[in-house]
Amino acid sequence: MRMIKIFNSSFISIWKWVAFWMIFLGTAFQLYGGNEKVPNDIRWIRQSLEYERLCEQVYQRSTVQILKVLKKESKKKNLALVVDLDETVLNNSLYQVERWQAGLTFTQDSWSDWVNRKEAGLVPGAKEFLSTVRKKGVRVVFLSNRMNHNLEPTRGNLRLLGVLDPKDLFLLRLDKNDLKEVRRKEVTDGTGRMKKVGPLHVIGYVGDQMGDFPSDVSKEFGRINFILPNPMYGKW
């Protein structure tokens, strides 16, 4: 009888551990990959090889074209590349997963909390591309709609991913009226926040939404404008 009790006790203990690890691994599986119960747009970003290959393809094309432009612009100084951050360099799909699974949508406060966590991943191909253009003397200007008070955690996230350079410039949003169009003009004119740096000669733009590009160069996609796939959010 005593042996049966010991056996039952051991059996129950084993199953408690099994249950614990099933729950733990199941949660990790859902948050960081695997068969996530999320909409197809988010799942495509997080799980599909097609997304990875498309991003790598865009960045490979970007590298080839920017190097061609550099040959033509070799005598010009202060060359720069304007690059968006979210879903262009930083992959924030985990934020989308967490919000969806909690039955919540985007809010500025929750987004700020996410940025402060510095847990965004890296968009495939971004690291190699940025490294190549920097070696050619091109300055990277990160022009993003992240709020300016999130600058330090943004820099910290990039540093953790190995894609931050001391010469990088950041033009984040001061308020809702601080449009990207205004900041792009500051880059090319050397005005406002760019007054100390001076005007830069922009040789290309990289982003994931049409708002990341000047309207007057809208026909230059594939040559100096390069757009990454992002079905998770946007203005359509």
Mean per-residue pLDDT, 105-119: 97
Shared-domain flag, residues 55 and 97: yes
Mean per-residue pLDDT, 207-220: 87
Shared-domain flag, residues 161 and 190: yes
pLDDT recorded at residue 162: 98
Shared-domain flag, residues 163 and 77: yes
Shared-domain flag, residues 115 and 197: yes
What integer best gives the mean pLDDT of the chain? 88
Question: Which domain does 21 fall in, by range?
Answer: 1-32
Q: Evaluate if residue 15 carries a pLDDT over 80.
A: no
Shared-domain flag, residues 62 and 89: yes
Shared-domain flag, residues 57 and 139: yes
Mean per-residue pLDDT, 152-171: 98
Shared-domain flag, residues 50 and 116: yes
236 occurs within a structural domain:
no
Shared-domain flag, residues 51 and 119: yes
Shared-domain flag, residues 190 and 206: yes
206 occurs within a structural domain:
yes
Q: Which residue has the higher pLDDT, 28 or 66?
A: 66
235 occurs within a structural domain:
no
pLDDT recorded at residue 20: 45
pLDDT recorded at residue 235: 72
Q: How many domains does the chain have?
A: 2
Shared-domain flag, residues 15 and 51: no
- pTM assigned to the model: 0.84
For residue 175, give both structure tokens.
């308020």
Q: What would the pLDDT profile of 30-67 be if each residue is shown by its tens digit?
A: 444 455 689 999 999 999 999 999 999 999 999 999 99
